[in-house]
Amino acid sequence: MAKQLSGAGLRGQVAGKTALSTVGKSGSGLTYRGYDVKDLAQTCQFEEVAYLILKGKLPNQSELDAYKTKLRGMRGLPTALKEVLERIPKNAHPMDVLRTGCSMLGNLEMETSFEQQQDVTDRMLACFPSIICYWYRFSHDGVRVDVETDDDSIGGHFLHMLHGEKPRELHEQVMHVSLILYAEHEFNASTFTARVCASTLSDMHSCVTGAIGSLRGPLHGGANEAAMEMIEGFTSADDAEEKMMGMLERKEKIMGFGHAIYSDSDPRNEIIKQWSEKLAADVGDDVLYPVSVRCEEVMWREKKLFCNADFFHASAYNFMGIPTPLFTPIFVMSRLTGWAAHVMEQRADNRIIRPSAEYTGEELRPVPAISERA
């Protein structure tokens, strides 16, 4: 299930140890602390999985209740952070807003000792949806949205602030699944960024701010937005097939397909695809879902490339009325758990990460006088 790996991009290199997850090794292909993501997505709420990843065990009922109560109490934003968010223009990218929001939070609520790492992480988990929606609603609708809702879940809190009304049960359930699927993925680019930062003994906000910047790119988290932009340009399944054949002929990269580690499928795709189909039936869609299915068929037939977690997330989020630029910030709301757990793991057994490079530059040479330079 995992590729034979070699070559550029540090493929196939073991860059450290982790007890947090396996990718392409057992179960359906992705496990968190020994549990198959398929089982977690079927039976758990996101907060249970966040607890598992961050604290090492699945919570019992009273631990889960206490954890949810704690998170609910941490949704508010300091006035100074709200003022910063209000100054960021409407046309900013929400990932940049979140990066700034996280960094500003680090100024206001600094992590001064590693003993605070669990609380600092829970605070970010609780208030990242507030940061995204406060800025989005203020810049787009001129509304100072109440971020201290009493919604039961992180996903419900997000949808409530975004749409100005309590979410439907189906949508809250899809958010649980989506956030579980995105929560952790071993040494991916953003997590590795966080671990490199942690290895210098930096603070949690710096590690997460760096990771957000890394996740922003279209080859990583940004793929769900890029996939949406592509599929909404297709008017029917046949139109999608014709246009995709053209893109493949021109050797364009198709976002939401392929993976650095998985060889023939991404276990997260099967799960989110089912939910996308349910949501399509719920909204009476007869374009976006069939278009997405045809894209999947064409890519497999022509290139043996499969959908990764991002592809059907695009249509699923769209069916729930989530604006495309907010897709990758939702990924952050979830992956924050994985990043923070990796930071804690790195801190617990740290050596500064400092690889070497193969030098390809000039031989040693003398510095010419300025008058002799071209």
The site for ligand COA (CB under 6 A) is made up of 219-220, 223, 253-260, 305, 308-310
To ligand COA, the closest distance from the beta carbon of 360 in angstroms equals: 20
To ligand COA, the closest distance from the beta carbon of 91 in angstroms equals: 24
Q: Which is nearer to ligand COA, 153 or 292 (CB)?
A: 292
To ligand COA, the closest distance from the beta carbon of 313 in angstroms equals: 10
Q: Are 308 and 256 a contacting pair, CB within 8 Å?
A: yes
Report how far residue 134's alpha carbon sits from residue 247's, in angstroms, rounded to the nearest whole number.
38
Report how far residue 312's alpha carbon sits from residue 297's, in angstroms, rounded to the nearest whole number.
13
Sheet hosting strand 35-36, strand order edge to edge:
21-23, 30-32, 35-36
Tokens of 164: 């100005």
Asked whether the CA dihedral 329, 331, 333, 336 is positive or negative, the reply is negative
To ligand COA, the closest distance from the beta carbon of 373 in angstroms equals: 39
191: nearest Cα among 97, 100, 260, 256: 260
Question: Would residue 342 show up in a list of annotated catalytic residues for this protein?
Answer: no
Choice among 157, 205, 220, 313 that is catalytic:
220
CA 201, distance to chain mean position in Å, is: 24
Q: Give the 3-state secondary structure of residue 260.
A: coil
Q: Which is nearer to ligand COA, 125 or 223 (CB)?
A: 223
332: nearest Cα among 165, 101, 98: 98
- Which residues, including other chains, have CB under 8 Å from residue 110's CB and lie 6 or more apart? 203, 205
Choice among 203, 285, 310, 342 that is catalytic:
310
Choice among 157, 259, 313, 342 that is catalytic:
259
To ligand COA, the closest distance from the beta carbon of 219 in angstroms equals: 4
- Find where tokens 């699923």 sit: 316
Report how far residue 203's alpha carbon sits from residue 200's, in angstroms, rounded to the nearest whole number.
9
Q: Which is nearer to ligand COA, 257 or 312 (CB)?
A: 257
Q: Which is nearer to ligand COA, 189 or 320 (CB)?
A: 189
Tokens of 56: 């090492």
> Residues, the chain, total?
374
Q: Up-side HSE of residue 148: CA atoms within 13 Å toward CB?
A: 6
In Å, how far are 92, 126, 301 from 8, measured between CA atoms? 33, 38, 27
Question: Would residue 160 show up in a list of annotated catalytic residues for this protein?
Answer: no
Question: Would residue 259 show up in a list of annotated catalytic residues for this protein?
Answer: yes
CA 131, distance to chain mean position in Å, is: 16
323: nearest Cα among 256, 216, 232: 232
To ligand COA, the closest distance from the beta carbon of 106 in angstroms equals: 27
Q: Which is nearer to ligand COA, 38 or 75 (CB)?
A: 38
Q: Which is nearer to ligand COA, 6 or 61 (CB)?
A: 6
Tokens of 25: 């090794």
Report how far residue 148's alpha carbon sits from residue 157's, in angstroms, rounded to the nearest whole number.
9
Q: Which is nearer to ligand COA, 106 or 338 (CB)?
A: 338
To ligand COA, the closest distance from the beta carbon of 343 in angstroms equals: 21
Q: Catalogue the active-site residues.
A: 220, 259, 310
